[in-house]
Structure 1
Amino acid sequence: MVIITNNPIVKQEITNKEILHKDITYIEILKECRNLIHKGYELLSHPLYGSVKPNETPYRSIIMKKGKNLDTNSLILIEEAIATSSKFQKNKMTPNWTQKVTDDFKVIDFDILNNTLQRIQYI
């Protein structure tokens, strides 16, 4: 299992999983996941989870695992997520939030990721 993220809290707080932390945009995180899917990885978490719109938050963390072949379901899902996120960004770019607001978005992303990790362990 690997977590692809641009959220520094994830890198700091989750030490028992492989973390691929990059200082890139939300859409670039999705594209990084797409690249991994082409290398045989599969999505374990939905790329558009939560109720925060893709043009509202700058942070995204996605859980993946190494598979054996190209997982077409993961590829379709990530391509749709990229298209949806691009559409939202085209309509309204992510605001230049204050530090307090971006800190809140980091916590929201981390909390959703942490809860997802707990649920995955029970499946």
Structure 2
Amino acid sequence: MAGRAILVTNNPTFLSRVPAGVEVLVLEGGARDALTAARDRVHQGWRLANHPLYGNFRPHQQPYRSLLLLPPASSGAADAESLHFLEEALQLYQSPASKVRQSLPGDLPEAMRRDCALLDRELLKATLESLH
């Protein structure tokens, strides 16, 4: 694979748990912040390697969101499918009901944060392993 993949996440436990050659961008804040940062990269030509709503969690169910982005194609154009999936996910997170019910990492007890972080890592494990 040419170039380095980027893992955009708000899950700080990923810092020491990614394969060599993957850059990690850990964001403060909630899952919506990770989705927005990934969308901004897709506008620069990056492509999603995983679906932004993996695990089928709603905004109030999972405070962490991690997105693996593959390097831009030679054209540098925004990948329409990646952009579509991210916009759909952001619409879900920006709906009036979701804004009120979003789960943020700091809102949860430490034990629950650890469990949610582990679940986020496990759901992305196969995608990360596919880079080898």
TM-score range, shorter chain: 0.7 to 0.9
Q: Distance in 2 between matches of 1:97 and 1:82?
A: 22
Contact 2:9–2:65 (8 Å) recurs in 1: yes
CA distance in 1, matches of 2:93, 2:47: 20
Q: What's the CA shift for 1:15?
A: 5.1
Cα distance in 1 for residues equivalent to 2:99 and 2:26: 25
- Match for 1:77 among 70, 85, 93? 85
One-letter amino acid matched to 2:98:
Q
Q: State whether structure 2 residue 60 is matched by structure 1 residue 38.
A: no
Deviations 1:12-53 (A, max 9, x none): 222512111111211011000111011111111100001432
Indicate the larger mover: 103-112 or 47-56.
47-56
State whether residues 48 and 54 of structure 1, in contact with CA within 8 Å, keep that contact through their aligned partners in structure 2.
no
Deviation at residue 86 of structure 1 after TM alignment: 2.1
2:131 paired residue number: 121
Large movers: runs of 4+ above 3 Å:
none
CA deviations over 1:52-96 (Å, ceiling 9, x no partner): 322221111101112221111111110001001223523523272
TM normalised by structure 2 equals 0.82
Structure 2 stretches lacking a partner, 5+ long:
none
Structure 2 partner of 1:89: 98
Identity of aligned residues (%): 27
The 5 A counterparts of 1:1-123 are: 1-14=5-18, 16=20, 17-67=22-72, 68-87=76-95, 89-90=98-99, 92-94=101-103, 96-118=107-129, 120-121=130-131
The answer (yes or no) to whether the contact 2:47–2:82 under 8 Å persists in 1 is: yes
Amino acid in structure 2 at the alignment position of 1:13: R
Contact 1:9 1:106 in 2 (8 A): yes
Q: State whether residues 55 and 85 of structure 1, in contact with CA within 8 Å, keep that contact through their aligned partners in structure 2.
A: no
Q: Aligned pair count?
A: 121
